[in-house]
């Protein structure tokens, strides 16, 4: 059996499409050490196992956007003419029952760990963002208070206004 892939490498294959974390059929096929057409054939044969929240078919625009992000420019005729499928975490789990091989089971375990790791990272980032926001609110109030203190100190440091002295005595107008 070929060496399995690190969870971190698998995590780089997880994309966000339509607000969901998914993996493309071609990336999964590489991980399973299978051909993409074999994977999609097995999926089509067992289509009832893959509802819309488990698997979606990408639009041409979504596919080109992903390719441009990964490659930079597109060369005509170089990529598959078929639009890829994208599998959610549940869809990937379902693939292990469709692709009945030892490699598929082992890779699925790693993929599930990668999805879990991403969720943990996102949760950590949300907690950090919340803490930073709370600190910003706290120090914004302090900033205003500090500004008011400095303004009061400036007023105290200003010399008192000079009053015009009244000249005492008799004045002759010229």
Neighbours of 139 (CB within 10 A): 11
- Tell me the pLDDT of the chain (174 aa) as tens digits: 445 567 777 888 888 888 888 989 998 888 888 888 988 999 999 999 999 999 999 988 888 887 766 554 445 545 567 889 999 988 888 887 788 777 777 888 888 888 888 888 877 877 777 777 777 777 777 777 777 887 887 777 777 777 777 777 777 776
What does the pLDDT read at residue 24? 92
Q: Rounded to whole angstroms, what are the CA distances from 60 to 67, 85, 100?
A: 11, 11, 30
Start-end of H helices in the chain: 7-11, 25-32, 36-45, 60-71, 89-98, 102-157
What does the pLDDT read at residue 55? 93
Q: Domains of the chain, with CATH numbers?
A: 7-125 (3.10.260)
24 has which bridge partners? Answer: 86
């Amino acid at each position: 059996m070929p060496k399995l892939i690190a969870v971190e490498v698998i995590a780089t294959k997880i994309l966000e499409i339509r607000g969901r974390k998914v993996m493309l059929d071609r990336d999964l096929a590489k991980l399973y050490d299978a051909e993409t057409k074999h994977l999609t054939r097995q999926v089509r044969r067992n289509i009832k196992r893959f509802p819309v929240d488990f698997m979606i078919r990408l639009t041409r625009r979504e596919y080109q956007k992903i390719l441009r992000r990964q490659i930079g420019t597109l060369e005509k005729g170089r990529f598959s003419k078929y639009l890829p499928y994208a599998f959610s975490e549940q869809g990937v789990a379902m693939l292990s029952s469709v692709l009945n091989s030892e490699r598929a089971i082992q890779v699925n375990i790693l993929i599930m760990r990668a999805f879990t790791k991403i969720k943990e990272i996102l949760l950590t980032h949300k907690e950090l963002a919340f803490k930073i926001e709370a600190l910003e609110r706290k120090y914004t109030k302090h900033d205003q208070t500090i500004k008011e203190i400095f303004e009061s100190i400036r007023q105290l440091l200003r010399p008192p206004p000079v009053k015009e002295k009244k000249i005492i005595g008799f004045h002759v107008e010229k």
